[in-house]
Copies of this chain bind each other. A is one copy, B any other.
Amino acid sequence: MSRLPSFKGVIAATLTPSKGYVDRIPAYYDFLRTAGVKGFFILGTWGEGPRHGAEHRMRVAEKAVESTTSSELAIVHVGSSDMDTVRTLLRHANEIGASAAAVIAPYYYRPDTETLLRYYRVLAESSEIPLLVYNIPSKQGYSISSNTLTAVLEEVGNVWGVKDSSGDPATGVALVRKFRGRKFVAIGADELITFAFTIGANGVVSGIASVFPEMVVGLQRALEQGEMNRALELQHLINEASNLLSSIGVEYETQRSVLRIRGVDIGPPPDPVRTLREDELTRLKEGVAGILERLVY
């Protein structure tokens, strides 16, 4: 955990292979690592954790953690709508030596503040590895105020940080200002990567970095070197990549298809998600080519 507070960098919200394709993870992670990715967010939203059963999630988590080095972050997301599954996965994340366990706020049902605090307290108490609070209103179905997030981080022991995917810049500012140097604060919204690094967040958990890692790492470097023009160009390219991915195909087989186009095959979609049609693949290939071309410049 000592490496956590001082972490600075890009964490990829890695995609997940389906059953039978877990052995594709090491090559995939090498692809990300080569591009400069320093952290791996495993089985989150882009990683389709909530779509997979506990058994497969554990196999994926094992292989993923195994595929990281001690200087990298390997954060395993263990959230679920049911508490028994969360407990099972959290225990397992401890056993396999994950850097931390991320837990989405309860989804499907809406907790009040006290229930939310109890939720994280109960989990934190049963874990040796630290917890990362994962706030993503679009999936939870409700917002959490920055005051409530702050209370969770302050009052619950063994919570070392937060991944905020609210898309709300004010929440990011409140968290960084309050916890800088004390807790890990990551922004999980691709359109706010420039903002995240500017205000001094520890990093970003980026979906785009799972398929175009060089773009997000490049943006971080451009900002470090004060090349604002290049940063603006890259942030715009990231935004366009987001639009491309959401305008073709189906979650998250489109993303897997981008990896395939780029030479990294992590296997077919999980049942019952369909594969992309020929015309969709053609458009996607053109879109990816256009993005990679502009990336070089």
Contacts and interface: CB of A to CB of B under 8 A. Distances in A.
The interface residues of chain A, by DSSP majority, are classed as helix
A290 interface: no
A191 B177 contact: no
Interface residues of A, number: 60
A125 B240 CA distance: 33
B191 A194 contact: no
A21 interface: no
A100 to B, nearest CB: 20
Contact of A111 (B83, B176, B198, B250): B250
Given A115-B272, A194-B198, A251-B109, A81 B51 contact: yes
A115 B198 contact: no
A139 B108 contact: yes
Interface stretch (A24-32, A59-67, A166-174, A210-218): A166-174
Interface stretch (A9-17, A34-42, A229-237): A229-237
A56 interface: yes
A200 B229 CA distance: 9
Contact of A81 (B80, B115, B173, B239): B80
Interchain residue pairs A-B with the least CB separation, the first 3:
A53-B84, A118-B272, A170-B239
